[in-house]
Amino acid sequence: MLTLSDVRSGYGSTTVLHGVTLEVAAGETTVLLGRNGVGKSTLLRTIIGRLPLTRGSISLGDRELGGLPPHERARAGLAYVPQGRDIFPGLSVLENLRVAVAGTRRREWPARLERTLEEFPQLKPKVNAGGRSLSGGQQQILAIARALITDPRALLLDEPSEGIQPSIVVDIAGMLVAAARERGIAVLVAEQNLDFVGRVCASVNVIDKGTLVDRVAVGDLMTNEDLQHEYLGV
């Protein structure tokens, strides 16, 4: 449902993405795997419109997004959880969620909040807690909840397992799989953590130097150290 076709972009005169073509299906979690500096965040930023597309196209359903500014892409149904989360530390959990849907009708808010707290029961006892007081894992869960409360058609996440303790990483993987399936949305995750990706999909798209270079089964990657070295630099 989210279709990237020959996506090229970069920073100023520096081209980082050299033509990425990828289909992110509804109801599934699709993984973009690659080591540091290969263009994962650049691709997600290009999809949401923070970086200009220099060639190619990005479409959501039958709607072309490539020429739209970020807020119109969000309105068309794209939600994004940036690397390092980026919740509002000075606002409570409830306020963080409310801000995300500030533009929607006031009477829709209670139903959205209820659904979100059912989906993320960990947040229930924390609704009045300040964002700053949450653990890294709780902040990541809040960031995901804040993206989903907007009721997107596609959700993009940039290294959601980074810096999160292993037990919460497992929880977050489960939440994404459930959200994709139950909401029928397309989920695209940029990651480097093999344990995490093995929990959300069977095979990953490998990006290197701004190009997709392989599609490989997670099981094969886990048992092949040479491949891990090549694709993840570990």
Ligand X SMILES: Nc1ncnc2c1ncn2[C@@H]1O[C@H](COP(=O)(O)OP(=O)(O)OP(=O)(O)O)[C@@H](O)[C@H]1O
Q: Of the two residues 83 and 92, which places its CB atom closer to Mg ion in the complex?
A: 83
- Taking the C-alpha atoms of residue 208 and residue 127, their distance in angstroms, rounded to an integer, is 40
Q: Of the two residues 39 and 152, which places its CB atom closer to Mg ion in the complex?
A: 39
Region at 15 (left for phi over 0; alpha for psi -120 to 50; beta for the rest): beta
Taking CB under 6 A as the criterion, the residue among 4, 30, 34, 138 binding ligand X is: 34
Q: Is the CB of residue 191 less than 8 Å from the CB of residue 232?
A: no
Name the token pair of 80: 């994004």
| Segment contacting Mg ion by CB under 5 A, of 11-19, 20-28, 39-47, 214-222 | 39-47
Q: Does 41 sit near Mg ion (CB under 5 A)?
A: yes
Taking CB under 6 A as the criterion, the residue among 27, 37, 69, 90 binding ligand X is: 37
Q: Does 13 sit near ligand X (CB under 6 A)?
A: no
Residue 5 makes CB contacts below 8 A (sequence gap 6+) with: 21, 56, 57, 58, 59
Question: Which DSSP string corresponds to 38-96?
Answer: SSHHHHHHHHHTSS---EEEEEETTEE-TTS-HHHHHHHTEEEE-TT----TTSBHHHH
Taking CB under 6 A as the criterion, the residue among 5, 15, 41, 92 binding ligand X is: 41
CA geometry: angle at 169 spanning 141 and 167, to 5°?
110
| Segment contacting ligand X by CB under 6 A, of 34-42, 52-60, 115-123, 136-144 | 34-42
| Segment contacting ligand X by CB under 6 A, of 38-46, 60-68, 90-98, 116-124 | 38-46
User: Which residues between 61 and 90 bind Mg ion (CB under 5 A)?
Assistant: 83
Q: Does 9 sit near ligand X (CB under 6 A)?
A: no
- Residue 39, binding choice from Mg ion, ligand X, none, Cβ under 5 to 8 Å by partner class: ligand X
- Taking the C-alpha atoms of residue 39 and residue 8, their distance in angstroms, rounded to an integer, is 11
Q: What element of type H or E holds 129? A: none
- Smallest gap from residue 31 Cβ to ligand X (A): 13
Residues near ligand X (CB under 6 A) are 11, 14, 16, 34, 36-42, 83
